Structure 1
């Protein structure tokens, strides 16, 4: 039976979401807890997206197949009992056997947090800037992102991406007292893209680039023109969205599979 798990984590001590050899990842810890809780020999979780080393998630959807049906509250409770303090499971939703957290998602949104005051309680969750950048200019430049679709400039050189087109639907900065928050939403993102976008927008805000130059470097599709990536600790995978009524429809499919399973287990008369 397939379930979607809503997972949140502080990425500080992890080498990203995805399994990799000789490095601690969020997926590794979650998979290990699933094996222990449900006494499984093998688990294959699939995340809605990847996060890099040190990046956080306030909403990462993960799907997993379990050998039988469980109450969602039971799955949530049993996992949260043994997960470490920096990982938690929120909603648990039953879905059909073909549901896919990554391929079925329609959009993803990231937030990047900056603090303009030195705050020891934000060290792991915000990037500290001692001088305020020009937020109005950064917002003007951010609107350029909505007008373009090829973001080769903001892609990692050694990536395995087949194409560099992304449909960005939101990109804006907000001020909240001594904090600045950048929100960006798109159908897909290139690996490392958001931190490169933030780093380059900050150069606009610091007067190192004009808005026209920001547009030009994207249109050039040249990776060497992007500024340095903003530090990982300020970045959060904030929200992953699915089609309207997606989970209600998936619940129906789940119940159909469950009913079919019950019928096959009934003794014949």
Structure 2
């Protein structure tokens, strides 16, 4: 059995997330269908994680197994891109060791969330439009508290099948890029809706409805009801997946 990694990106606006769902259009189902058609056999790709409805990915990995060896992976990549819709692109298909898993071998994931501070037709659907002044310094202070905790139950979607709400955040910061505020967060794993709930809480702090110190109280409460709202999905991008250098 031969294992291949697919590196891809997608605009998630038309999709109900990455993962296959009954009676819903997903990126995974699109990729399975087109790859199966191209290779003439049933292919089921395994993704590096799951993005929710409307969330985008600038870098995403999936793997699949087949008995045969792909003679020209670059040719398969070219043909697959011709089959796929314009909002999904495959960068490359690479043979990897059989024990490399797109999800479980990943050591970190990077997400970014974009907030537009001024009306911009070119970021519509790709950022959260918020045109009033936010206290960015208070938001930065509150963001720093995230690194002191590992249990993020307060930012997890309720009633999920997750076995643990523990995550190790290694970096979290705000940057001002032109007329956009950009939140970057890196961790070993993320809970469902976690980034959007964190950003929503930080926006509440930026509005002055909460203090920076309230972030600590919210995290320690381990109660989703204590945190802020979830910002819209369109501003969230999965930016990068890291694997051990020796494996990829």
Residue in 1 that maps onto 2:148 = 147
Could you tell me how far 1:122 is from its partner in structure 2? 1.1
- d(CA) in 1 for partners of 2:62, 2:146: 29
1:219 match: 220
- How far apart, CA to CA, are the structure 1 residues paired with 2:125 and 2:81? 22
CA displacement 1:102-153 (0-9 Å, x = unmatched): 0000000100011111112211211101113111211111111111111010
- After TM superposition, list the pairs within 5 Å mapping 1:183-222 onto structure 2: 183-222=184-223
Q: Which residue of 2 aligns with 1:254?
A: none
Once residues 43 and 159 of structure 2 are traced to their aligned partners in structure 1, the CA distance between those partners, rounded to angstroms, is 29
Equivalence for 1:11: 12
Mapped to 1, the partners of 2:175 and 2:155 lie a distance apart of 22
Structural mapping, 1:238-249, within 5 Å: 238-247=239-248
Q: Residue 224 of structure 1: SS of its match in structure 2? A: helix
The answer on 1:231 being equivalent to 2:220 is no
Residue 61 of structure 2 corresponds to: 61
2:96 corresponds to: 95
Deviation of 1:206 (Å): 0.9
Q: Distance in 1 between matches of 2:138 and 2:193?
A: 23
Matched, 1:49 2:49: yes
CA distance in structure 2 between the partners assigned to 1:22 and 1:96 by the alignment: 34
What TM-score, normalized by structure 1, do the two folds share?
0.89
Contact 2:13 2:234 in 1 (8 A): yes
In structure 1, runs of 5+ residues without a counterpart are 248-269
Cα drift, residue 176 of structure 1: 0.8
Residues 209-244 of structure 1 deviation map (CA, whole Å, 9 limit, x = unaligned): 111111111011111101110000000111000112
| 1:72 aligned partner | 73
Cα offset, 1:182, TM superposition: 0.5
Instruction: Structure 2 unaligned segments of length 5 or more: list them.
Output: none
Native 8 Å contact 2:108 2:242 kept in 1: yes
TM-score under structure 2 length normalisation? 0.97
Aligned 8 A contact 2:15 2:26 in 1: yes
- Equivalent residue number for residue 134 of structure 2: 133
Contact 2:96 2:247 in 1 (8 A): no
DSSP 3-state at the match of 1:121? coil
Alignment length (residue pairs) = 246
- Measure, in 1, the Cα distance between the counterparts of 2:34 and 2:112: 28
CA distance in 1, matches of 2:247, 2:67: 23
Task: Specify the structure having the higher radius of gyration (Cα).
Answer: 1
Please list every run of at least 4 consecutive aligned residues from structure 1 whose deviation after the TM superposition is greater than 6 angstroms.
none
**How far off is 1:75 after superposition?**
2.1
